[in-house]
Amino acid sequence: MRFPRPFTSTPRPPASTETGVIHVQEVSVDYGGAPVLNGFSLLVRAGEFVSVLGRSGVGKTTALRVIAGFEHVNAGYVRLGGLLVGSSFIHVPPDRRRVGIVFQDYALFPHLTVAENVAFGLQGIDRREREARVRPVIDMTGLTGLERRYPHEMSGGQQQRVALARALAPRPVALLLDEPFSNLDRNLRSTLRREVRDIVKRAGATTVLVTHDREEALALADRVAVMGNGRVEQFGTPEDVYERPVSPEVARMTGPCEVIPGTMRGSVVITEAGEFPVVQGQLAVSESSVQVLMRAADLELGLADPETAEAGAFVVYREFRGEFTQYGVRLPSGMTLRVQGRSVARLPDGARVTVRTRPGAKVLVFPKTAGTG
């Protein structure tokens, strides 16, 4: 095990669950202009799989590079296995951090075979030992038989497994995945996703995945850190961030939804789309004027009573998606609401409808001040 040289003399504090294997505290990074990271914090426990979800440009890749040591931090602290590796006054270079990375385009060494790529990080140990270390990783990643191939002779999925094997072989303190599925086609993606999670879990690696794909982030991770501008907006289980988002922004990032204005009346909220039951005790909303989060999957449509339908909502589009049909519903204010209809009945364009929550579903409300993004 090689550890950051400046600290080898310091006794290593135990990497307890409390400090976390990766512990990033209030880190700020700027390239001379606007900050890319601004008070970014993240704590990843041993063996945990955390995904960092955010739109492009919110600094998620920078966050990954801060952990890996490719970026210097202007403020804050980065700890790996309890050791301080990055701050405004100290910077341990990437080669002393023992962090494994799977790059977006894999960055396989084109002049080396699969086996050589995987063995690349195993320096300073003898040949036999090295082979003994490479073999299980090759087997685990399903690359058996391909050891002597060159990267360009492999498919995208195979290349990704080589990149994963290469990152895991040196038994890194932490494994970082930078949008590893973005170069793969859709069908391959979900298969490989499960495969990667299996491999990573079997290896017991502490993992951070950076992605802009919410499906990927929610499906893979033990916990999800949703990033806004340069910081983590919410950090919790996938269920947490989806069902109990702390802000409309987080809600938008974790699933398709619309935010419309409403007025509280007891345990229901009244909007132009109708009256909806509100989730109790989620947020202390004092004002009666609120923002209402409408998840497409929580809503359903009914045919409106022709008597009162004059000023009501109507269907503007309909997209058959297989498991469900997505409707676009134009509200009187001109806003379009997405609703997942599961009923067999086809509602034609222009049909007057009413919107209601699915049985058992409730809507979330946010204070007006929470911003609409």
Partner 1 sequence: MANLAELGRIQTGVAVKKQRPHIALWVAGGIVGTAAVLPVIYLVIRTAGAGQEAWDLVFRARTAAVLGRTALLIATVTFFSTLVAVPVAWLTLRTDLPFKRTLAVGAALPLVVPSYVMAMTLIEAFGPRGILQQLLEGPIGLHRLHDIYGLGGATLAVVLVTYPYVLLTARGALRRVDPALEEAARSMGYGPVATFRRVTLPALRPAITAGVLLAALYTLSEFGAVALLRYETFTAAVYAQYSSALDRSVAASLALVLAVVAVVILIAEDFSRGHAAYHRSSAGAARPAKNVKLGAWRWPAFMFVLLPIIVGLLIPLTVLGYWLAQGLAHGRGAGPVWEPVRHSVFISLLAALATLVAAAPVAVLAVRHRNILSRTIERLTYIGFGLPGIAVALSLVFFGINIATPLYQTVWLLLFAYVVLFLPAAVGALRSSLVQVSPRIEEAAQALGRTPVKIMTSVTLPLVAPGILSGAAMVFLMTMKELPATLVLSPIGSETLATSVWSSASEALFARAALPAILLVTVAGVPTAFFVLRDPARRSMPEAGPIRPERTGAG
CB of 323 to partner 1, least distance (A): 31
Residues 177-236 that bind partner 1 (CB under 8 A): 182-183
Between CA 333 and CA 311 the distance in angstroms is: 10
Cβ proximity to partner 1: between 193 and 295 the closer is 193
User: Which residue stretch of 102-110, 189-197, 278-286, 334-342 sits at the interface with partner 1 (rule: CB under 8 A)?
Assistant: 102-110
Cβ proximity to partner 1: between 140 and 279 the closer is 140
Cβ proximity to partner 1: between 132 and 316 the closer is 132
CB of 18 to partner 1, least distance (A): 26
DSSP-based three-state secondary structure for 329: strand
Options 93, 136, 332, 371; binder of partner 1; rule CB under 8 A: 93
**Could you tell me how many helices (H) and strands (E) the chain has, helices first?**
8, 20
Determine phi and psi for 99, rounding to 5 degrees: -115, 130
CB of 125 to partner 1, least distance (A): 11
| Residues in contact with partner 1, shown as a per-residue x/- string from 117 to 156 under the rule CB under 8 A | ---xx-x--------------------------xxxx--x
Q: How many residues bind partner 1 (CB under 8 A)?
A: 36
Dihedral, 22, 27, 31, 33 alpha carbons, nearest 10? 150
Dihedral, 137, 138, 142, 148 alpha carbons, nearest 10? 170
Does residue 5 bind partner 1 (CB under 8 A)? no
The candidate with the shortest Cα–Cα distance to 66, out of 55, 53, 77, 56, is 77
Determine phi and psi for 50, rounding to 5 degrees: -115, 135
Instruction: State whether the Cα torsion 203-205-210-213 is positive or negative.
Output: positive
Does residue 367 bind partner 1 (CB under 8 A)? no
Options 41, 104, 190, 326; binder of partner 1; rule CB under 8 A: 104
User: Which residues lie below 8 Å from residue 173, measured CB to CB, with a gap of 6+?
Assistant: 21, 80, 81, 97, 98, 99, 206
Chain centroid to Cα 227, Å, comes to: 9
Q: How big is the chain by its Cα radius of gyration, in Å?
A: 25
Residues 39-68 that bind partner 1 (CB under 8 A): 68
Options 45, 79, 98, 193; binder of partner 1; rule CB under 8 A: 98
Cβ proximity to partner 1: between 115 and 301 the closer is 115
Cβ proximity to partner 1: between 5 and 358 the closer is 5
Does residue 77 bind partner 1 (CB under 8 A)? no
User: Which residue stretch of 99-107, 127-135, 278-286, 293-301 sits at the interface with partner 1 (rule: CB under 8 A)?
Assistant: 99-107
SS3 content of the chain, % helix, strand, coil (to 5): 25, 30, 40
Between CA 189 and CA 86 the distance in angstroms is: 34
User: Which residue stretch of 9-17, 75-83, 97-105, 246-254 sits at the interface with partner 1 (rule: CB under 8 A)?
Assistant: 97-105
User: Which residues lie below 8 Å from residue 10, measured CB to CB, with a gap of 6+?
Assistant: 83
CB of 97 to partner 1, least distance (A): 7
Does residue 252 bind partner 1 (CB under 8 A)? no
Q: Output b/e per residue, 195-210; b: 16+ Cβ within 10 A.
A: bbbebbeebebbbbbb
Does residue 7 bind partner 1 (CB under 8 A)? no
Does residue 90 bind partner 1 (CB under 8 A)? no
Binding site for partner 1 (CB under 8 A): 2, 68-70, 93-101, 103-111, 120-121, 123, 150-153, 156, 159, 166-167, 170, 182-183
